Amino acid sequence: MKHFSPPASSAPPSRAWWLLPLLALLCSLALGWGVRTVYLEREQRYRHVIEGSLAAINQLQVGGVTAWRQRRMGEAASLTDDGLLTAAVTRWRQVPSSANAAVLRERLRGMVEHLGYTGAYLVDPQGRLLLGPDGPQQGGMPAPERDALHASLALAQPAVTGLQRDARFAFPYFGLLAPLYDGTQPLGAVWLVVDARATLYPLLATWPNSSHTAESFLVERQGDSMLFLSPLRHRGDEPLTLRMPWRPGSGEPIALAAGGSRGTLYGLDYRGEQVLATVAAVPGSNWLLISKIDAAEAFTEAQRREWLALGLFASLAALLLGGVVVLWRWRVWRRESALKERLEHNMRWLETAQRAASVGYFAYNGEQRVFVMSAMANAIFGLPAHGQMALRQWIDMLHADDREETLRLHGEAMAQHSPLCAQYRILRASDRHLRWVEVRAEYGDPQGAERSRMTGTIQDITERRQAEEQLERYRAALEAQIRIDPLTQLANRLALDEQVAFEWERAQRSGTPLALLMIDVDRFKAFNDHYGHVAGDRCLQSVALALSTATGRAGDVVARYGGEEFAVLLPGASEEQAWSVAERLREAVRALGIDHARGCEDCIVTISIGAASIQPALREMTTGSPRTGVDMAHALFRQADAALYRAKQYGRDQTMVYGPECDVALHDAPDSLL
């Protein structure tokens, strides 16, 4: 016997669970990409804002310095054009009295006190100091001032000496020279000295926020070096003392600025820190104003804030995504729970229905050779409710008479993959009682994935089988009953007709004759009239017993044809043999000696017999065509009947064998004889 395997015990994993991590990964990647893109965009925008702010501050400061310079130049120019000053200087040079000197000193003091100059001196055309606010001055101007004086006098316009240091002053200063003329004759000049610390440097300290690293400073390229003109926030060097070599390829903003770059620059500053810088030239000078801020301060904090905001957004998005996933899982869980509950409910129904119908179900695992069965199926086999049944155990339980056939049916169904429907007996494991079971099963599954598995139902049909067997017994008894005459217990006319047809078929095959005796009790009406019907019935029973006893031979059929008429079918009997049997029967009835006061001369019950015998071959020869069983039965009955009539006609209590003369007699017979 081939074996069959059960369905897989576990369902294939849901695809959704494989897709979920992939989906989450894709969402995370998309989210990360989105966050990064947003960050880069915002960072770019923020960078522009910072760069713009720094440029604005730089421009503001350049504007301030430029205005400061122009105001100083304007003041110097107004001194050159001041006629009163020129007249006072001329007067003092012609008459150097203290009164004339006082006027000039007063003007110089006014410049210091009201215009914010640190020093204001009158110098001669050779650059010698003549007079200051405090009185006459000795010595000459520094060389740069002297050069500027000569240029100024030559051009007849104010000149600046730029920022510089001199031993005369303890501070970096900005020098201006306002040339004075008496007509076309140079009188000298007013040398104005501005303390850069008090007037210029504060302009560079204008910074709108509380940055720790932002600063602006002035530099000037001098040959291959850069001179820092203003103080630095992160170095203690005095202005105009720090000088750095110009390194064109260094990428330092200061080097780039010296090379001509303007606007926004990135690079390392004098401390070696990465900075964002804006460079602009101060108009009318060699000065470059550099505003810078550490990149770390400018962007790191912003970056941190951006990352924080985006991180918050990403966290919220992740939280939302997580929430959606949790919600989805919760819905799935709820749906599964509802399905599980419904399944359990249906399983309970199924169990109840199984119990009510004595039907269980099972799955057979061909590889493990084990039946996995429902509680009801186990109960049918008399096994524990949740146990399994091994193949060997099942075979042992099969009834010995059914085992071979059952295994054959299973094997056939397995080989042909056809549905199995089998009924067989088992010896129940729990009590060794004989039980009938019906198994309906199918092999494989509809997709054909597991062709060797078997699943099906099993039903205990013992009671049904018993009822069916009982019914069969009843049916057989009834079948027999309808062919038996209730009064005499002989075969009735139905049974006789069937037997005649059957024997005729056999006679045709074997070529042997078939004889029929028709028997009638003589003057039975008179018997009834005289003795009553009950006695008549008893008489008929006695005659029947006598006939069946006297007939004797196996295969002969004695029947009650109807009323007081009997018939005896004698297969294989010729006319002579039929006559002989008839006579024996007649004698047997006579031997009964049943009184019949109104009967024959002996006053006992007698019978008349008509006998006929037909041989199929002869019959067909004479008629020329084969006859059917029904036709021949009719012919046999008719002949025997005709012979019986003839026996009655000739006085009763005798046997007549059919001959052609019987037909004549029958036709011609008066009704009174019948």
Cα(271)–Cα(277) distance, integer angstroms = 14
Instruction: Report if residue 616 touches ligand GTP, rule: CB under 6 A.
Output: no
Burial level of 175, CB count in 10 A (0-12/13-18/19+)?
Answer: buried
Residue 256 vs 521, nearer CB to ligand GTP: 521
Residue 294 vs 520, nearer CB to ligand GTP: 520
Write down the least CB distance from residue 521 to ligand GTP, Å.
6
Write down the least CB distance from residue 650 to ligand GTP, Å.
12
CA distances to 3, 312, 456 from 409, rounded to whole Å, are 12, 72, 14
Residue 377 vs 543, nearer CB to ligand GTP: 543
Residue 355 vs 533, nearer CB to ligand GTP: 533
Instruction: Report if residue 525 touches ligand GTP, rule: CB under 6 A.
Output: yes
Q: Which SS3 state, helix, strand or coil, does residue 450 take?
A: coil
Residue from 107, 410, 435, 523 touching ligand GTP (CB under 6 A): that is 523
Instruction: Report if residue 541 touches ligand GTP, rule: CB under 6 A.
Output: no
Write down the least CB distance from residue 539 to ligand GTP, Å.
7
Q: Which two tokens stand for residue 147?
A: 């050069």
Stretch that binds ligand GTP, among 10-18, 419-427, 532-540, 661-669 (CB under 6 A): 532-540
Residue 513 vs 536, nearer CB to ligand GTP: 536
Q: Which SS3 state, helix, strand or coil, does residue 513 take?
A: coil
Stretch that binds ligand GTP, among 7-15, 39-47, 445-453, 517-525 (CB under 6 A): 517-525
Residue 521 vs 612, nearer CB to ligand GTP: 521
Contacts of 158-162 with C-beta under 8 Å, sequence gap 24+, read 158/73, 158/76, 158/77, 158/79, 158/80, 160/69, 160/72, 160/73, 160/285, 162/220, 162/285, 162/286
Instruction: Report if residue 603 touches ligand GTP, rule: CB under 6 A.
Output: no
Query: Which residues, including other chains, have CB under 8 Å from residue 571's CB and lie 6 or more apart?
Result: 503, 506, 507, 512, 514, 515, 555, 556
Residue 179 vs 536, nearer CB to ligand GTP: 536
Which phi and psi (to 5°) does residue 380 adopt? Answer: -60, -40
Cα(558)–Cα(94) distance, integer angstroms = 196
Write down the least CB distance from residue 588 to ligand GTP, Å.
18
Instruction: Report if residue 520 touches ligand GTP, rule: CB under 6 A.
Output: yes
Write down the least CB distance from residue 664 to ligand GTP, Å.
20
Tally Cβ neighbours within 10 Å of residue 93.
16
Binding mask 487-516 for ligand GTP (x = CB under 6 A): x-----------------------------
Instruction: Report if residue 586 touches ligand GTP, rule: CB under 6 A.
Output: no
Stretch that binds ligand GTP, among 252-260, 362-370, 534-542, 570-578 (CB under 6 A): 534-542
Residue from 324, 395, 526, 618 touching ligand GTP (CB under 6 A): that is 526
Instruction: Report if residue 101 touches ligand GTP, rule: CB under 6 A.
Output: no
Which phi and psi (to 5°) does residue 209 adopt? Answer: -130, 180
Write down the least CB distance from residue 524 to ligand GTP, Å.
3
Residues 504 and 514: beta-carbon distance below 8 Å: yes
Instruction: Report if residue 653 touches ligand GTP, rule: CB under 6 A.
Output: no
Query: Which residues, including other chains, have CB under 8 Å from residue 484's CB and lie 6 or more apart?
Result: 490, 491, 492, 495
* First and final C-alpha spacing in the chain: 74
Instruction: Report if residue 410 touches ligand GTP, rule: CB under 6 A.
Output: no
Residue from 522, 556, 575, 653 touching ligand GTP (CB under 6 A): that is 522
Name the E strands within 124-158.
129-132, 135-136
Residue from 195, 564, 641, 653 touching ligand GTP (CB under 6 A): that is 564
Instruction: Report if residue 561 touches ligand GTP, rule: CB under 6 A.
Output: no
Stretch that binds ligand GTP, among 191-199, 204-212, 252-260, 518-526 (CB under 6 A): 518-526
Q: Which two tokens stand for residue 418?
A: 């056809």
SS3 content of the chain, % helix, strand, coil (to 5): 50, 25, 25
Stretch that binds ligand GTP, among 27-35, 474-482, 525-533, 617-625 (CB under 6 A): 525-533
Q: Which SS3 state, helix, strand or coil, does residue 622 take?
A: helix
Residue from 348, 533, 553, 634 touching ligand GTP (CB under 6 A): that is 533
Instruction: Report if residue 602 touches ligand GTP, rule: CB under 6 A.
Output: no
Quickly tell me which residue has 């109104």 as its tokens: 598
Residue from 536, 571, 610, 616 touching ligand GTP (CB under 6 A): that is 536
Residue 3 vs 493, nearer CB to ligand GTP: 493
Residues 276 and 264: beta-carbon distance below 8 Å: yes
Write down the least CB distance from residue 478 to ligand GTP, Å.
23
Quickly tell me which residue has 């959606």 as its tokens: 324
Residue 187 vs 647, nearer CB to ligand GTP: 647
Q: Which two tokens stand for residue 649?
A: 């006609």
Residue from 540, 550, 573, 636 touching ligand GTP (CB under 6 A): that is 540
State the DSSP H helix or E strand holding residue 371, giving kind and residue range, or none if neither: strand 370-373
Sign of torsion over alpha carbons 558, 559, 561, 565: positive
Q: Do you know the residue count of the chain?
A: 674
Residue 497 vs 522, nearer CB to ligand GTP: 522
CA distances to 36, 42, 636 from 203, rounded to whole Å, are 41, 33, 157
Instruction: Report if residue 145 touches ligand GTP, rule: CB under 6 A.
Output: no
Write down the least CB distance from residue 652 to ligand GTP, Å.
6
Instruction: Report if residue 566 touches ligand GTP, rule: CB under 6 A.
Output: no
Stretch that binds ligand GTP, among 194-202, 262-270, 526-534, 659-667 (CB under 6 A): 526-534
Binding mask 302-341 for ligand GTP (x = CB under 6 A): ----------------------------------------
Query: Which residues, including other chains, have CB under 8 Å from residue 441's CB and lie 6 or more apart?
Result: 364, 413, 419, 420, 454, 455, 456, 457
- Judged by the rule CB under 6 A, the positions of this chain that interact with ligand GTP are 487, 520-526, 528, 533, 536-537, 540, 563-564, 648, 652
